[in-house]
Amino acid sequence: MNYSLRTKLNESFEKLSELLDIPESRYKQAVERYQAIGSWLAREESTIAKYDPKIYPQGSFLLGTIVKPITDIEDYDIDLVCELDLTKKEISQKQLKDMVGNEVKRYAETNNMKHPPREGNRCWTLEYAEGAQFHMDILPALPDRESFKLFLESKGFSPVWTEFAIAITDKRHKNYEKIDEDWLRSNPKGYAMWFKERMKVQFERQRKLLAESIKANIEDVPEYKVKTPLQQAIQILKRHRDIMFVDDRENKPISIIITTLAAHAYNNEDNLLEVLINIVNGMPKYIQYKQGKPWISNPVNPTENFADKWIKNPKLKEKFEQWLKKVKTDLEAILSSQDLHNIIEGLKPKFGDRVVNKVVSELLPDYKSSEDTDKVPHIIISNPSKPWGRKF
């Protein structure tokens, strides 16, 4: 692929990531909403105010890898943690979940929300009006740093990133209704710190460049405004997955596996196209096997296997492998294409017509769609049989 076409393709992927990201207005709206919930939980009349409730994001919203829904009728899924200053010796999982749930229900009633909060196995879900286009999953939790640290040390692991560890509720847990030290563990802030460390070089570089472009101090640039090639690549991979599994959502690869493997495979490259190639080639290297069973360690809790459902349902592993193979095949086809038209038309079924058309309208205003192919100039690639000299 010649240099100019490769550059244009890289720009197109960067624009694709930008368009897949949550719009800033929607991001700020979500932040305002969860901060409002936090203020409600901490208000003087709140039944849990004395436990110093803290609410904060987790998952893709925290990592900067959230992806716009395929259609306008779908919601952004905003994952939150509601942490109370209590211990597992003082309260059961059920009591904690009910306490948080009661206040969340009062919040919904007071604010005349159309739907009452919905209780899941772990979370309470708040569904906002259609115009908001997001819902919030609120996970009740307790601080668990000391217990988690001792747990990891007892298993022979170094207690890295344990400062923000939490214990979480789950209705399916055997001790759900009784006071007991045995709770499920999680560490979303610790995971975010690990994830940020994996892209530290590019994060700092991008933040500095952004600060210079707006003539501001680096510290004044909000972290959510910075997008590294790793975050962009994950957004693109997640959209490819969403399109591929639009009619098979139960079997689609889960985001935490994609994110973890991608972060492991990332080497702080600054070219998005190169990052995508290296990630899809490198992801399988970080799938381990213990006693013949697949294992993808939680980097902040090595005792947790993100691939545990693959063991219970081998079909999920097969679907992941099928998806990764399809990503490789699709990238190979794009890089092997001999003209711009084929590249763009090839992107549409993989990422969606609407978002690709928007990429084209912003980057290639003179481009003609498939019905005008005769008018599209062909851009020849210098060795289409060996795109970039890399093997898939």
- For the stretch 143-193, pLDDT in tens is 999 999 999 999 999 888 899 999 999 999 999 999 999 999 999 999 999
Q: By C-alpha distance, which of 313, 310, 311, 328 is closest to 244?
A: 328
Residues 149 and 199 in one domain: no
Is the pLDDT at 377 greater than 70? The verdict is no
Burial of 170 per CB tally in 10 Å (0-12, 13-18, 19+): middle
pLDDT in tens, 82-95: 999 999 999 999 99
Residue 292 dihedral angles phi and psi, to the nearest 5°: 80, 5
Domain-terminating residue out of 186, 205, 221: 186
Angle between the N-to-C axes of helices 229-244 and 272-282, in degrees from 0 to 180, rounded to the nearest 10: 60
* Total domain count, the chain: 2
**Percent over 70 (pLDDT), the chain:** 92
240 with 329, same domain: the answer is yes
- DSSP strands (E only) in 201-330: 288-290, 293-295, 297-298, 301-305
pLDDT tens digits, 98-151 = 999 999 999 999 999 988 999 999 999 999 876 668 899 999 999 999 999 999
SS3 state at 363: helix
CA distance 93 to 123: 12
What per-residue confidence (pLDDT) applies to 387?
Answer: 35
Is there a single domain that holds both residue 35 and residue 179? Answer: yes
Residue 45: exposure state from Cβ atoms within 10 A (0-12, 13-18, ≥19): exposed
Q: Report the alpha-carbon angle 108-41-118, nearest 5.
A: 35
Residues 85 and 198 in one domain: no
**What is the phi-psi region of residue 340: left when phi exceeds 0, alpha when psi lies from -120 to 50, beta otherwise?**
alpha
**DSSP H or E segment with residue 235:** helix 229-244
Task: Specify whether 98 is located in the same domain as 174.
Answer: yes
Same domain, 224 and 312: yes
Give the list of residues 6+ apart from residue 143 with CB closer than 8 angstroms, or none.
Answer: 83, 85, 165, 166, 167
Per-residue CA distances from 259 to 132, 194, 231, 274, 298 (Å)? 26, 12, 9, 17, 11
Q: Note whether 247 and 370 are same-domain residues.
A: yes
Nearest to 152 by CA among 289, 287, 260, 304: 304
Q: Are residues 292 and 307 in the same domain?
A: yes
Of 142, 161, 186, the position where a domain reaches its end is 186
Is the confidence at residue 385, as pLDDT, over 80? no
Note whether 162 and 197 are same-domain residues.
no
Same domain, 173 and 195: no
28 and 133 share one domain: yes
Q: Is 382 left (phi over 0), alpha (psi -120 to 50) or beta?
A: alpha
CATH at 100: 3.30.460.90
Predicted confidence band of residue 370 (pLDDT cuts 50, 70, 90): low
User: Residue 352: which domain range?
Assistant: 1-21+190-392
Last residue of a domain, one of 186, 214, 229: 186
Which residues, listed in sequence order, are joined to residue 227 by a DSSP beta bridge?
none
Instruction: Please indicate, yes or no, whether residues 135 and 203 belong to a single structural domain of this protein.
Output: no
